[in-house]
Amino acid sequence: MRKNLSIVFALIGWFAVITQYILLLNASTTGFTDTTIRFFSFFTILTNSLVSLYFTQQAILNDYKNKQFLNFPGFLTAITVYIFVVGLVYQIILRQTYNPEGMDLIVNELLHSLMPLLVLLFWYLYEDKTVIKWKSLFLWLIYPFIYIIIIMISGSFSNYYPYPFINVLNIGLKAVLINSFLLLILFMVLSVILVGFGKWLEKKKA
């Protein structure tokens, strides 16, 4: 069952990411290179690609206890937090600012709505919640923190920011720093909730 779900989820994930890339290229007026750079500047795309890689690996693994790349203890919980933040930020902040149609609408919902739920389901079914350590929560912040730093640096040169709440040109550096701090707090709060809930589930099961 785990392998079958991994195959299906990987296919959905890669379909959404690749189709979104094709749609963006077709609508682009900035050229292939700039469009590609901008495409991979979205936390949504990076995280959905990471999730798709994880499910691809799960689909080909025979030993799920093998602590190799993308399969070490707690990694599934970490990407569950990341993709869930993608979904929450979109539903709460970005949905009212974007009105896609047709295939763009379908792909958008796959990336922001369906994939977070599928990853959460997979986490519930298969994550070994007993091995997750509370101190790992701080390590999980490295990915979003580095992302914010890179976007801030690249944006200072290109004047392009993928999200309005980190757009220095429109809202100013102070507001961006506050928003970034609040986002990191959101990552931490969701991590605490997920790890705590997981340990409660294991305790109840025992």
> What pLDDT is attached to residue 145?
96
φ, ψ dihedrals at 29, nearest 5°: -120, 10
List per-residue pLDDT tens for the chain, 206 residues long: 888 999 999 999 999 999 999 999 998 888 899 999 999 999 999 999 999 999 999 988 776 666 666 777 789 999 999 999 999 999 999 998 888 889 999 999 999 999 999 999 999 999 888 888 888 899 999 999 999 999 999 999 999 999 999 999 999 999 999 999 999 999 999 999 999 988 888 777 76
Could you tell me if 107 and 133 are in contact, meaning their C-beta atoms sit under 8 angstroms apart? no
Rounded alpha-carbon distances, angstroms, from residue 101 to 98, 110, 119, 126? 10, 13, 25, 35
For the whole model, what pTM was predicted? 0.93
> What pLDDT is attached to residue 87?
96
> What pLDDT is attached to residue 66?
66
Cα–Cα dist 145/55, whole Å: 24
Contacts of 145 (CB under 8 A, 6+ apart): 184
Long-range contacts of range 151-159, CB-CB < 8 Å, 24 or more positions apart?
151/41, 152/176, 154/41
> What pLDDT is attached to residue 37?
93
Chain centre to alpha carbon of residue 11: 16
